[in-house]
Amino acid sequence: MSMAQGNNYDYHRTTFDGERTERCVCLVRTMKWFPVLFIASVIGWSYYAFVIQLSFFTVTNIVQRILFLLFYHGVLVMFLWSYYQTVFTDIGRVPTRFRVPRAELDRIVRATNEEEQKQILESFAKELPVVTRTLNATVRFCDKCRLIKPDRAHHCSVCGVCVLKLDHHCPWVNNCINFTNYKYFILFLGYALLYCLYVACSTIPYMELLWTGKIDGRFHILFLFFVSIMFAISLVSLFGYHCYLVLLNRTTLESFRTPIFRYGGPDKNGFSLGKLNNFQEVFGDDWRLWFVPVYTSMGDGVVYPMRCYDEDAEALLGGEQQHNRGGTENLHDFEAATFLNEYGNLMH
């Protein structure tokens, strides 16, 4: 009788703990949207302050009012479009072929030392296009997702999965900045900076009128100026830094943790192809779509062309690809370069 009561008690406690955990998870997921709601609220308030308080209640010249509103709404549309794409674009997930089978996992668990585990992973990774390694020259394996990490992929502790070309997890968009939305993120920063600068510059003449008492005091205009300046100062450094990373073909993680290559060792510039090609890898080769928040990034997020090509792969294409450690300045065919690297990886 006592055993039955004990089992019954344990069952109910387990059920209660499960429900409590589920509620906590839901609460955490909801709280993650607070920064996004905050940004949306600031944008909504700034719209009211600029359009209603400034343009309609303060600006008296009709032509000036029309020009104010036309340019403002143009920038706002691009800003919101980029932000939406950054927030709601799905993260780049690792393909299933990188997942280590159950039988191989059992072999890794039964391995008696690290060298044996390393050999098992190397054997499985022979069929995969991966060239980066860990500090001890081992294939990069995620024990949480139980898969081989593709080049430039990392595990996001917030999302709980490995993400292709992970740059960082941004709480302001409640999403990982990664291969699939990196272009949108940079455009979001750029248009947000342009938005703040335009709003601040538009309110400067009326700040003087408010200060001298020539127009009635309007709290929203005064506050709009200081808020836009504050956000602009924050954005200019972040936007500049990511423009710098794009031109070097480097992620935030790679700038702090140098990628280690199977051949050549650590190299921060291992993925750099020259400034133009680096830019096109993120923004695409159609200049008409560079500043439009639509997907134009090149590649699949799994395989990346590199500065230094393997000699066997180079010979496959008849030596047409020149070995250039200074950068590949004339990389016009991204798909050919990607194939070249993948073939070279599989040859070893």
Cβ neighbours for 31, distance < 8 A, ≥ 6 positions apart: none
Tell me whether residue 156 is one of the annotated catalytic residues.
Answer: no
Q: How far apart are CA 170 and CA 36, in angstroms?
A: 10
C-alpha radius of gyration, the chain, whole number: 26
Cβ neighbours for 132, distance < 8 A, ≥ 6 positions apart: 140, 151, 152, 259, 260, 261, 262
Q: How far apart are CA 271 and CA 288, in angstroms?
A: 25
State residue 213 phi and psi, 5-degree precision. 80, 15
Q: Which of 156, 159, 170, 243 is catalytic?
A: 170
Question: How many other C-beta atoms lie within 10 A of the C-beta of residue 279?
Answer: 17
Find, among 272, 294, 291, the residue nearest to 281 by Cα. 272
Long-range contacts of 190-194 (CB under 8 A, 24+ apart): 190/82, 190/239, 190/291, 191/75, 191/78, 191/79, 191/82, 192/79, 192/83, 192/231, 192/235, 193/232, 193/235, 193/236, 193/239, 194/75, 194/79
Adjacency order of strands within the sheet including 265-266: 132-133, 260-261, 265-266
Q: How many Å from the N-terminal Cα to the C-terminal Cα in the chain?
A: 66
Q: Render each residue's pLDDT in the chain as its tens digit; 348 residues.
A: 443 444 444 544 544 455 666 777 788 888 999 999 999 999 999 999 999 989 998 888 999 999 999 999 999 999 999 999 999 999 999 999 999 999 999 999 998 888 999 999 999 999 899 999 999 889 999 999 999 999 999 999 999 999 999 999 999 999 999 999 999 999 999 999 999 999 999 998 887 777 766 666 578 888 999 999 999 999 999 999 999 999 999 999 999 999 999 988 999 999 999 999 999 999 999 999 999 999 999 999 999 998 764 434 444 445 444 444 444 444 444 544 554 455 454 444
DSSP code for 150 = P
